Amino acid sequence: MFNLIRKFYGINSNDYLKSIGPETLFGSLNMGKINSLKSQCSAGKSGSLFYYTADGLYMLKTISHDEFEHFKAIMRNYYHHMLAYPHTLITRFYGLHKIKFTRTTRIERVYFVIMANVFNTPQNIQ
């Protein structure tokens, strides 16, 4: 469904993948180098980490397992809302992901969403 949402908002899949930088971002996580991700992030009030893509178009936010499951449960309704109200002020989520990797003897999971960077806008913010 996220691919459909991205297409609806005119986001080309190749451009999207270049922006989120899977080679550097996901490669670091896959290699167990989560510290390299943290060094590029800022912590939110909830303890979530935020990462801005180099081009400033997207934000990555880490989420809890419960938030991940909740978002999966409401995904269909979210999708239909975005189609019905394309100019809604609700955050535009473009991806929901889980990465599993082994760190020494245990498996770690990182859950995150990719969303539009609301600060990257042609609108004049005063």
Tens-digit pLDDT profile for residues 23-52 = 656 555 555 555 444 435 555 566 788 888
Residue range(s) defining the domain that contains residue 29: 2-116
CB atoms within 10 A of CB 112: 24
Question: Is 122 a domain residue?
Answer: no
* Residue 18: pLDDT band with limits 50, 70, 90: confident
- Specify the range with the lowest mean pLDDT, choosing from 12-16, 39-43, 119-123: 39-43
Specify the pLDDT at position 125: 63
Tens-digit pLDDT profile for residues 91-105 = 999 999 998 888 888
Tens-digit pLDDT profile for residues 68-119 = 999 999 999 999 999 999 999 999 999 999 988 888 889 989 999 999 998 7
Please report, for residues 5, 13, 32, 88, 99, the alpha-carbon distance to residue 41 in angstroms, rounded to integers and kept in the order given. 26, 24, 16, 27, 17
| pTM of the predicted structure, to 2 decimals | 0.75
**In the chain, beta strands by DSSP E:** 41-43, 49-52, 58-63, 93-103, 106-116
CATH number (domain holding residue 38):
3.30.800.10
Here the contacts of 82-89 (C-beta below 8 Å, separation 24 or greater) are 82/5, 82/8, 83/8, 86/8, 86/9
Question: Is 72 a domain residue?
Answer: yes
Question: Is 123 a domain residue?
Answer: no
At position 98, the amino acid (one-letter code) is K
The count of domains in the chain is 1
Asked if 51 contacts 59 with a C-beta cutoff of 8 angstroms, the reply is yes
